[in-house]
Structure 1
Amino acid sequence: MKVNHLFIGGKWTAPAGSDTITVTSASTGEYLGSAPAGVERDIDRAVRAARSAFDAPGGWPAWEPERRAAALVRLADALDAGREAMAGTVSAQNGMPISTAESFEGAVPALLLRYYAGLAAGASGEERRVGLPRGSTVVRREPVGVVAAVMTWNFPQTMAFFKIAPALAAGCTLVLKPAPQTVLDPALLADAIGTAGLPEGVINIVPGGPEAGAYLVSHPGVDKVSFTGSTAAGRRIAAACAALLRPVTLELGGKSAAVVLDDADLDAHTDQLFMASLVNNGQTCFASTRILAPRSRYPEIVELCTAMARGAVVGDALDHATQIGPLVSARQRDRVEGYIRKGLSEGARLTTGGGRPAGLDRGWFVEPTIFADVDNASTVAQEEIFGPVLTITPYEGEDEAVRLANDSAYGLAGTVWTSDLDRGARLARRIRTGTVGLNGYLPDVTSPYGGRKASGLGRELGPEGLQAYQEFQSIYCP
């Protein structure tokens, strides 16, 4: 796929610059396609288009909520019609196993659009409250304005629609900046936007690298920033938004703990544990990559996790039998292999993996890797690896399990594994993290998702995700 133009103002337009972004297959290293690399003039045009769509009389925020909701449903229908192509395109670029891509990249965007269409339809933008000490107040919800959405590569469409769906429902317009690793799937999104008949300038797409993202984040025509990506990049974006007093939502990294209680039946939940810890080849911010195991069952749990990793089918991302595909790039593979060497140098015990799988000489593959006897203070237990590497650390009693789970710079997610769900819920309430799953993990579209500490600011999904794209105005009445 060779994309020659940028999607700005509802049209495919020639880029201002001549540079392109080349994408190679994560599974083979072969050329997949290219797209223009947006420059400052492209971003200026995209912001102007979004600004016009927002500010024009009768523009997108002035539409009745039911009319906006109908447009969201049309976009969902268009995405559903192309879901197979979208899943395959994402899988080829970033190495996501195709079965995972079909469940997430091919399905979640339309699900989010329909959910937020339901919230928007018939919603009142005003309420009257009885005032104190007298009178009353009209409280209005208004769209925040033009949104700069700076995207990640690991779940590029899913995470994009964490932003697009509520922003559109609120009446905002957007400029999307896809990550350079995944610049082909946005062309399919642009086609769906055209098919759905969204007004010109409501969604604009300008791929680019960090420089383009930084320029967009600080652009004077932007009213809000929403970013998904690394904590390091998130800190830079937060600093820029702080200087501008610009609202920002940050969904950043994680190093989540899987607390296995002594009554857990992991044999019954092996598939769920695999999904919670190794989904998308470990390239997942919410993955429970720190396994905390009770000493009374420690050898058994180490054996189970080792067998789970050793038995995973590693292969081409586009093969439906594949459970672990390649990493997104050679650079990412080098990074993960560096962490594996670090784990060994710090004294962790390698029970399986640690190298490159035999017979897969092309692409960016790393074997699913398990480290046992890991000190929770060690590098591999504290830093986000973003690959198929799990650590196992023993604990004595629930209090120590909670202490170890909370002994992290991150606070995005986590899991608790138990046969007693009430017990699991009590322990989950003690973990300082934005989300926790019991005997599995999957974000719920209807509930807030986001992190604490170095995992970010703000929440996405649920009604809270809609509120992130709204501002309040109070009109005091006598």
Structure 2
Amino acid sequence: MLQHDTLFIGGDWVAPASTGTIDVVSPHTEEIVARVPDGTPADMDRAVAAARAAFDHGPWPRMTMPERAAVVARLAELYAARQAEIADIITLEMGSPITFSQLAQAPQPLGMLQYFAQLGETFEVEDQRPGMFGPVTVRREPVGVVAAIVPWNVPQFVIMTKLAPALIAGCTVVIKPAPETPLDSYLLGEMIKEAGIPDGVVSIVAAGREAGEHLVAHPGVDKVAFTGSTAAGRRIGAICGEQLKRCSLELGGKSAAIILDDCDLPSAMGFLSIASLLNSGQACVAQTRILASRSRYDEVVQAVAEMVTGQTVGDPGDPTTAIGPMVAQRQQERVENYIRIGLDEGAKAVVGGLDRPFDRGWYVSPTVFANAANDMRIAREEIFGPVLTVIPYDDEADAVRIANDSDYGLSGSVWTADTDHGMDVARRVRAGTYGVNMMNTLEPGTPFGGYKASGLGRELGPEGLAAYLEYKSIARLG
């Protein structure tokens, strides 16, 4: 069993303020695989104090952006050398299928580090604009101390959507990993220290809700960057609103995949097996509402059912596994409760249902619902598991209406033989990321975020860097 006795605060491994611990439990075996300190409000106070001192008095914010970019590039080199280790540890702690961990959980964070390091080499922190009485200098400065609060489903990916641009901007950062997935952040702490990032610029404290809320409300924090549930995002937004504190919120989704009548179903199903079920369905961008015309509805239901049935469910460490366990017993129970709700609402489970595939591990049966309507809870609420709902539409306008009839607006896709027409459909759906005959793979250079209850602000791309900058206008005469 892995054992960590320290926290990464102020650039060093230090003893925690209390003796409380977090047990990391394997979703596959239900056995404890690691134990780490449980961060407390006192630990958060120390981390914020270190970040505050590093921002107010340290060299990091006062370096040029290209100088910071060189350090982040060094961090990227170290990260590249440890990708396999990162993939393995994420599979161990949260049950992500190892193939997904190797293809996405580890490489995508690396891509973000590399992208922002490159962006920082050329990004203009000042520009001159004409003013009424003379030239005006528009300057971009770091926002300050950032609290980065991340979930368990793609832990390193979400850390890097915040850490990489914040570092390039010149901010200092306190990272709070989820208690389910603290182990990968210990590897990150080792790399941060080796990369030569100054002391206090990054601290990492895994903790639960109480310490997390303490961090959000801390007067020494200038900005909160959060990814997680919409309910938690509302609470964080309320706290930040009371304090007039900057915040960015990347929240839930209930994305729709529109299958147009000219779509080649076998081709689409190959992509949808990823777009709808990636990370065992534990992804905010998952396309969990499948919209099919009434004329092809039965055909689409059968194709989706065959696609889901063809996914191997099992040990996340096995490269042949496509769908692993849920991260925790409570998540297993949550997903099963939604399956029960769908059956009670009158939807038909054409695949899956409430029978568990294994006696051990937090597995659920991948489930496809037919005879469903968009007003059912299974079509409106984020389930965060391998549960798909196939919903009929009358015509294309009705399909777009149904796709938009959601509290969320994070992602989506359209599947058609006419990609130009697919672009027209994409422009009519109110979602922050979209794909035509593909899933938007969250390119590091393009903005990511959602409409409506899917959040506030954007991450990645130049827009993601801008989220960590304050803008100052300096006018002068003469």
List aligned pairs for 1:346-361, cutoff 5 A: 346-358=345-357, 360-361=358-359
Give how far 1:269 is off.
Answer: 2.8
Opposite residue 431 of structure 1, the aligned amino acid is V
Moved more, 447-456 or 59-68: 59-68
After superposition, the C-alpha distances for 1:71-118 in whole angstroms (9 at most, x for unaligned) are: 111111111111111111111111111111112221112211110011
List aligned pairs for 1:54-69, cutoff 5 A: 54-57=55-58, 59-69=59-69
Give distance in 2, aligned partners of 1:185 and 1:418.
40
Asked if residue 278 in structure 1 is aligned to residue 273 in structure 2, the reply is no
How many pairs were matched up? 475
1:140 aligns to what SS in structure 2?
A: strand
1:35 aligns to what SS in structure 2?
A: strand
List aligned pairs for 1:217-256, cutoff 5 A: 217-256=216-255
Q: Under a length normalisation based on structure 1, what TM-score does the superposition of the two structures give?
A: 0.98
After superposition, the C-alpha distances for 1:109-141 in whole angstroms (9 at most, x for unaligned) are: 22111100111113331111011x331211000
2:365 aligns to what SS in structure 1?
A: coil
Give how far 1:306 is off.
Answer: 0.2
1:32 aligns to what SS in structure 2?
A: strand
1:369 aligns to what SS in structure 2?
A: strand
1:291 aligns to what SS in structure 2?
A: strand
Asked if residue 18 in structure 1 is aligned to residue 12 in structure 2, the reply is no
The corresponding residue for 2:115 is 115
Give distance in 2, aligned partners of 1:444 and 1:421.
20
Asked if residue 427 in structure 1 is aligned to residue 425 in structure 2, the reply is yes
Give how far 1:266 is off.
Answer: 2.2
Give how far 1:245 is off.
Answer: 0.2
Moved more, 149-158 or 116-125: 116-125
The corresponding residue for 2:334 is 335
The corresponding residue for 2:70 is 70
* Contact 1:286–1:412, Cα closer than 8 Å, also in 2: yes
* Contact 2:96–2:324, Cα closer than 8 Å, also in 1: yes
* Contact 2:407–2:452, Cα closer than 8 Å, also in 1: yes
Moved more, 119-128 or 161-170: 119-128
Opposite residue 43 of structure 1, the aligned amino acid is M
After superposition, the C-alpha distances for 1:370-423 in whole angstroms (9 at most, x for unaligned) are: 001111000100000000000001111111001100110001011111111111
Q: Under a length normalisation based on structure 2, what TM-score does the superposition of the two structures give?
A: 0.98
1:121 aligns to what SS in structure 2?
A: helix
Give how far 1:356 is off.
Answer: 4.0
After superposition, the C-alpha distances for 1:209-249 in whole angstroms (9 at most, x for unaligned) are: 01111000010110100000000000000000000000100
The corresponding residue for 1:262 is 261
Give distance in 2, aligned partners of 1:465 and 1:86.
24
Asked if residue 436 in structure 1 is aligned to residue 437 in structure 2, the reply is no
The corresponding residue for 1:188 is 187
Give distance in 2, aligned partners of 1:17 and 1:464.
39
After superposition, the C-alpha distances for 1:181-209 in whole angstroms (9 at most, x for unaligned) are: 10111111111112212111111001100
Asked if residue 383 in structure 1 is aligned to residue 381 in structure 2, the reply is yes
After superposition, the C-alpha distances for 1:240-289 in whole angstroms (9 at most, x for unaligned) are: 00000001000000000001111111212322111110000110001010
The corresponding residue for 1:99 is 99
Give distance in 2, aligned partners of 1:474 and 1:241.
25
Give how far 1:61 is off.
Answer: 1.0
The corresponding residue for 1:371 is 369
* Contact 1:285–1:386, Cα closer than 8 Å, also in 2: yes
* Contact 1:76–1:109, Cα closer than 8 Å, also in 2: no
The corresponding residue for 2:85 is 85
The corresponding residue for 1:213 is 212
1:115 aligns to what SS in structure 2?
A: helix
Opposite residue 329 of structure 1, the aligned amino acid is A
The corresponding residue for 1:394 is 392
Give distance in 1, aligned partners of 2:124 and 2:251.
32
The corresponding residue for 2:473 is 474
Opposite residue 103 of structure 1, the aligned amino acid is L
Give distance in 2, aligned partners of 1:377 and 1:105.
34
* Contact 1:22–1:34, Cα closer than 8 Å, also in 2: yes
1:313 aligns to what SS in structure 2?
A: coil
* Contact 1:315–1:325, Cα closer than 8 Å, also in 2: yes
RMSD of aligned residue pairs (Cα, Å): 0.9
1:99 aligns to what SS in structure 2?
A: helix
Give distance in 2, aligned partners of 1:434 and 1:123.
24
Asked if residue 451 in structure 1 is aligned to residue 438 in structure 2, the reply is no
Give distance in 2, aligned partners of 1:70 and 1:110.
15
List aligned pairs for 1:140-155, cutoff 5 A: 140-155=139-154
* Same amino acid, percent of matched pairs: 52
Give how far 1:438 is off.
Answer: 1.1
* Contact 1:112–1:161, Cα closer than 8 Å, also in 2: yes
Opposite residue 151 of structure 1, the aligned amino acid is V
Moved more, 266-275 or 323-332: 266-275
Opposite residue 361 of structure 1, the aligned amino acid is D
Give how far 1:357 is off.
Answer: 4.4
Give distance in 1, aligned partners of 2:355 and 2:196.
47
* Contact 2:340–2:354, Cα closer than 8 Å, also in 1: no
Opposite residue 14 of structure 1, the aligned amino acid is A
Give distance in 2, aligned partners of 1:124 and 1:329.
45
After superposition, the C-alpha distances for 1:2-53 in whole angstroms (9 at most, x for unaligned) are: 1110000110000001100101101111111011111111111101111111
The corresponding residue for 1:410 is 408
Give distance in 2, aligned partners of 1:87 and 1:224.
29
Give distance in 2, aligned partners of 1:355 and 1:87.
30
Asked if residue 301 in structure 1 is aligned to residue 300 in structure 2, the reply is yes
